[in-house]
Amino acid sequence: MKASFAWLKQLVPHLPDDPRALADRLTAAGIEVEGITAYGQGTETCVLAWVVSTRPHPTKSGLRLVTVDRGEGSQEIVCGAPNVPEPGGVVVLAPLGAHLPAKNMTIGRRDIGGIVSEGMLCSESELGLSDESAGILVLPPGFAPPGTRLNDAIPETRDSIFEIGLTPNRPDGLGHIGLAREAAALLGVPWTRPDPEAPVRQRDGSAVDAVSIAIAARDRCAHYGASVVESVTIGASPSGIRYRLAALGVRSISTAVDVTNLVMLEFGHPLHAFDLDKVRGAALIVRRATEGEQLITLDGVTRALAADDLVIADAEGPIALAGVMGGASSEISASTTRVLLECATFDPRSVRRTARRHGLHSESSHRFERGIDHSDSRDCLAQATALTVRLCGGTALRDAAFAEGDAPAAVRVTLRAGAARRVLGIDITPAESKGTLERLGLRVVAESDEALTLEVPAHRPDLTREIDLVEELVRVRGMDTVAAELPSVRPTRPWGGREALLRRVRGAGVALGLSEALTFGFTSRASLAAMGAPEPAVALQNPLTSELDVMRTSLLPGLFEAASRARRHGEGSLALFTTGVVFLSGEGPNALPREPAMFAAVLAGEAPARLAKPRPRDVWDATGLALELVARLTREAPELLADPNAAPYLHPRGAASIHVHNTRVGVLGPIHPNVAEALDVDPRALIVEIDLDAIAAVGTRVPHYAPIPRFPASARDIALVVRDDVAAGLVLGAVREAAGPLAEGVSLFDRFTGQHVPEGHVSLALRIVYRATDRTLTDAEVDQSHARVVAAIADRFSATLRA
Amino acid sequence: MSDAHATIIASLEQLAGAFQASFDAAPNEQLLRDENAKVLGKKGALTAILKEMGKVSADARKSIGERVNALKSEVERAFDDRLAGIRRREREAELSAPAFDLTLPARTPAPRGHAHPISIVRDEIVGIFESMGFSVFDGPQIDTPANNFDKLGFPPDHPATDMHDTFYTTAGHVLRTHTSNIQVRAMTTQKPPFAFIAPGACYRVDSDLTHSPMFHQIEAFVVAEHVTLAHLKGVLAEFAERFYGTGTPVRLRPSYFPFTEPSAEVDIACVFCKQSDGARAGCAVCKHSGWIEILGSGMIDPLVFEQCGLDPERWSGFALGMGIERQAMLRYGIPEIRLLFDNDPRFLAQF
């Protein structure tokens, strides 16, 4: 909402002179002034000048030399505008030194084709009064004496415009009268609402004679008023009115339409003007539309109406969408001679539904949706009628026509004495409460030591309960009057319990060298399908784009997208993880989806190396990450099971699941080449996916103390050559088994092929650490155990021992 | 003195006169030990000399023994001295050898990972509230319109819902437009008094420089007896001091949210143009106002209590909610919200 400071000041003369001071006060009370812009900045130095004579420029075609009388003398100005008026015409002169911020120009002496021009005849756009103009600003002859300051001749050329971020509970702020009332109440200065003007010409007669009015949908329309002005001439509005509208962001259309907009900006109450001669059958009916009925609205769109839409119909059909937009058929045009003005009260919810249904958000629907002041309808209509006569000429019919629907009941609210203390923690005296609320327009209807009962004016539909009045009290006196105090909070147990786990998971991911990504909850069916993720369980009715129309069942598409983008940027190395929920089918019809929490990581490219060529990441980066992550989270030793079918998006040769005890907590492996191809991901990318709800179910083991070994350990190595299709893990397992309880640890410390290793074989070097808990093992004991292990392994794997 | 005796004595004296030179000539510990063994070892000179002891008288043996002991001590002392000398010189040489090239790349224990700025800020805010006695209440991102809107007092067909352009699922649920659905869930399932904080993802149909269709909020709320606006202000002031730094004043501006009344937008004094005297100079971030809007808050509307089955005459409370993206963008000077969701490694590595 834009508001004119000049207009407010006109309504409340006691306002401070500095717009900033008013803006700050309004903002502190919840009417947030987000910005102040200067309208017509630079016009202060401009004066009116009368054209004395014109002649062509001696050398430059298209330019003219205009001699103007500027009051204190005349001067010759070079002007290129096509519309320089005849002598006697009034134009606007920006003198030497004038600065016009709209075009960022400062007027200086200019030599144009040998003629020196000291000043400029200005257009509206150069003066910052409108966005564009076809030529210089020309005023009617005799508009004001030469030398009159433009700002004095047309006060609307200079204003401070407030950009107000109005909250939807304050419809009264959508008009200058409402803002004036609020400003006066906040500043404690007197204010009276202006009475409507009387039309300068009116004749006996009633609008009823010209058109019949009926409300068929009484629950949707509390009041309908119409007035008639005859013999009008529709044209352009005078410049003052055009500038006022332009300053407030409203396009000037024609006198009759501008009137309805001006009155709307003043009272906050939308009006509509019909061409009465286009109203068929001289009848207006406020009714619900019939399903499928058609109406061409002012914007030229043919609308198929719904039975829930409220329309204004004439004898033959709808001619306006009530409170939203007029119809094209009864639109005011240059040939209109009889204007019918409408000022009505429509049901906010009805207007909102219609506006949304038809995607038509208008200044009118915006106000009706929020609830307009139904008490001022007659005044609005009267003011609009008088203004129409003033601007369009013609004669008003003395009596307007009214029809009444279900009138809203008056609202009374009781404010108990202790209410402010209870809510705000401060005491507010009854006198202050009463004073504040009365200034805001409430009327005390009963008063006692315990309570104050007030009647709420129609312009404040947001005040219906005691708490609303308490808010008014603190809003007006300022929230800075409440001292801060820390509450004593009773500690509460966390609910859901995933936050702490997620924090640990993120910490572990970062500690393991990954960077955290954040990906959207929605994704495309295509990417889920391409990777073979579970079918989407949740689809969106109104997705942002038709692509992103389902909720993810896997965190991976988002990571793949990031990986693919990073690859296009030429990032060689990538180690990303994310945590978040996926959305799976809930149990039972209409149930909310399940939202299990997951961890997913994508590794790609090369692992950094020191003083060496970087090493391409491989599947053991994935197994290491998965095992370490799960171990850190559960404090258990997780187990890896190779499983070609662990997940459809994993490469069958490297796919595995990871288990803690007998719970499967995740999968990992290289990306399946088909998926990599379909989603444009590095085909060597690696994936780790951990089910965090499963991790939570496993829990975190609490370590139990084991005595620290008191006796020394002895290590023995074995080097053996086995067929290369024997899994190393199998050999290690067999070693552990053969070594028995004396073997504290078995590790594989070297593995190689080639050199002296026969084709199809691999050499494995293992170290076994022997230790007894109750004695120092003798060399003989260790050698004996070790010989047993060597024999068992050689036998089981047909292995050749190496020296 | 027998010949044998004299020979032994002579040999001992010769030995006594020679060992020092050989010790001094030994360049390192090993060679010194070798020299020492040549004198005192099993196969050393002294042992060889004493093989002749059988040929001398008991008296002579005694006097030779004394001489031998003295010689041994002499040799041992000389050995120790020389050893200490060698070690000192070696230590000095080791200390004065060329310095390590510390400009060579460091060997990092593990490659460095980076938490997302949203997570960093989220954890910090959650931590602040936890230390004030709040606990996390975790709830779903997809919820019923009742929990997201109706029970929070959003009037049907009211423009208040315009502030929340909502994603609907085909099942008629909503992607929560704020974390305030957690208020409803807490109030309908838990018995007050309680103080919860609810961080998480939210969704609105909105996408531009400062809006992302998915974003994150943190909601904090208290429901108890006798909670007032003063308490809300107390918690806000404490939060501002801890999160934005000591000496960060808070300002409340009345505003409107359907589920709180009174409602307030909360500003903090600009942390970017703070002068040493605490005044604010005005800058682009605060649009020269000296204040930055950081969150919305208010006293829980009695209607919300009613809708959730709590008696508004008994229970009172406040709620505050903030966008984590905004806090992160302010803190790190991130100009566009999109950067937070692009997951560009070059962006992530900055945090």
Residue in B229, B230, B236 with CA at minimum distance from that of residue B250: B236
The minimal CB distance from B142 to the residues A170, A518, A592 is found for A592
Residue in B201, B130, B184 with CA at minimum distance from that of residue B300: B184
Q: Which long-range contacts (CB under 8 A, 24 or more apart) does A780-788 make?
A: A781/A742, A782/A714, A782/A716, A782/A742, A783/A716, A785/A739, A785/A740, A785/A742, A785/A743, A786/A716, A786/A718, A788/A738, A788/A739
Tell me the chain A residues in contact with residue B222 when contact means C-beta distances shorter than 8 Å: 487, 489
Give yes or no for a contact between A768 and A715, defined as CB atoms under 8 angstroms apart. yes
Q: Chains A, B: CB contacts under 8 A, how many?
A: 280
- pLDDT given at position A755: 79
Between A451 and B50, whose confidence is greater? A451
**Buried b / exposed e along A604-617 (16+ C-beta atoms within 10 A):** bbeebeeeeeeeeb
pTM: 0.87
> What's the CATH code, domain B117-348?
3.30.930.10
Give yes or no for a contact between A716 and A788, defined as CB atoms under 8 angstroms apart. no
Q: How far is A577 from chain B (nearest CA, A)?
A: 10
- pLDDT given at position B288: 85
- pLDDT given at position B124: 97
Residue A572 predicted with pLDDT over 80: no
Q: CA angle at residue B292 from B290 to B294, to 5 degrees?
A: 160
Cα A263 to Cα A455: distance, rounded to the nearest angstrom: 26
**Section A596-609 average pLDDT:** 93
- pLDDT given at position A351: 95
| H or E, element range at A138 | strand A138-139
Q: Which residues contact A304 (CB under 8 A, 6 or more apart)?
A: A292, A293, A294
**Section A44-68 average pLDDT:** 91
- Among left, alpha and beta (phi > 0; psi -120 to 50; other), residue A630 is alpha
Q: Please write the tens of the pLDDT for every residue from A391-433.
A: 999 999 999 999 999 988 899 999 999 999 999 999 999 999 9
Nearest CA in chain A to B191: A492
Contact state of A592 with B104 under an 8 Å Cβ cutoff: no
Tell me the chain A residues in contact with residue B134 when contact means C-beta distances shorter than 8 Å: 489, 492
- pLDDT given at position A111: 87
- pLDDT given at position A745: 92
- pLDDT given at position B36: 92
Indicate the SS3 state at residue B15: helix
The minimal CB distance from A492 to the residues B195, B205, B226 is found for B195
DSSP B171-211: TS-EE-SSTTHHHHHHHHHSPSSEEEEEEEEEE-S--SSS-
**Section A572-586 average pLDDT:** 94
Q: In chain A, which among 100-129 make CB contacts under 8 A with chain B?
A: none
In the structure encoding, which two tokens stand for residue A56, read together? Answer: 């062509």
Cα B263 to Cα B253: distance, rounded to the nearest angstrom: 8
Q: Please write the tens of the pLDDT for every residue from A316-341.
A: 999 999 999 999 999 999 999 999 99
The minimal CB distance from A30 to the residues B116, B142, B255 is found for B255
Tell me the chain A residues in contact with residue B259 when contact means C-beta distances shorter than 8 Å: none
Residue A562 predicted with pLDDT over 70: yes
- pLDDT given at position B63: 84
ipTM: 0.88
Q: Which residues contact A667 (CB under 8 A, 6 or more apart)?
A: A646, A647, A650, A655, A656, A657, A658, A687, A688, A689
Give yes or no for a contact between B183 and B197, defined as CB atoms under 8 angstroms apart. no
Cα B242 to Cα B23: distance, rounded to the nearest angstrom: 71
Cα B26 to Cα B33: distance, rounded to the nearest angstrom: 9
Q: Please write the tens of the pLDDT for every residue from A173-208.
A: 999 999 999 999 999 999 999 999 998 999 999 999
Q: Please write the tens of the pLDDT for every residue from A457-510.
A: 999 999 999 999 999 999 999 999 999 999 988 888 888 889 999 999 999 999
Residue A607 main-chain phi, psi, to 5 deg: -85, 140
Q: In chain A, which among 357-416 make CB contacts under 8 A with chain B?
A: 366, 369-370
The minimal CB distance from A516 to the residues B111, B114, B231 is found for B114
Q: What is the greatest pairwise CA distance in chain B?
A: 133
| pLDDT bucket at A116, cuts 50 / 70 / 90 | confident
DSSP B303-346: HHHHHTT--TTT-EEEEEEEEHHHHHHHHHT---TTHHHH--HH
A151 CB-contact burial (10 Å; exposed 0-12 / middle 13-18 / buried 19+): middle
Pick among A351, A366, A423, A576 to test the B interface (most B CBs inside 10 A): A423
- pLDDT given at position B156: 79
Cα A95 to Cα A730: distance, rounded to the nearest angstrom: 97
Average pLDDT taken over every residue of chain A: 93
Average pLDDT of each block of 10 consecutive residues along chain B (351 residues)? Answer: 82 88 92 92 87 82 86 92 94 94 88 94 96 94 94 82 82 95 96 96 90 95 96 96 92 94 94 87 86 95 96 97 94 93 94 94
Strand segments, DSSP code E, in A140-292 are: 159-165, 202-206, 212-215, 221-230, 272-275, 283-288
Q: How many CB atoms lie within 10 A of CB A102?
A: 20
Tell me the chain A residues in contact with residue B231 when contact means C-beta distances shorter than 8 Å: 425, 485-487
**Section A68-94 average pLDDT:** 91
Check if A693 contacts B (Cβ < 8 Å).
no
| pLDDT bucket at A217, cuts 50 / 70 / 90 | very high
Give yes or no for a contact between A197 and A386, defined as CB atoms under 8 angstroms apart. yes
Check if A631 contacts B (Cβ < 8 Å).
no
Tell me the chain A residues in contact with residue B183 when contact means C-beta distances shorter than 8 Å: none
The minimal CB distance from A608 to the residues B111, B162, B234 is found for B111
| pLDDT bucket at A589, cuts 50 / 70 / 90 | confident
Residue A312 predicted with pLDDT over 70: yes
In the structure encoding, which two tokens stand for residue A45, read together? Answer: 């130095």
State the sign of the Cα–Cα–Cα–Cα dihedral A692, A695, A697, A700. Answer: negative
| pLDDT bucket at A803, cuts 50 / 70 / 90 | low
Residue in A99, A141, A139 with CA at minimum distance from that of residue A120: A99
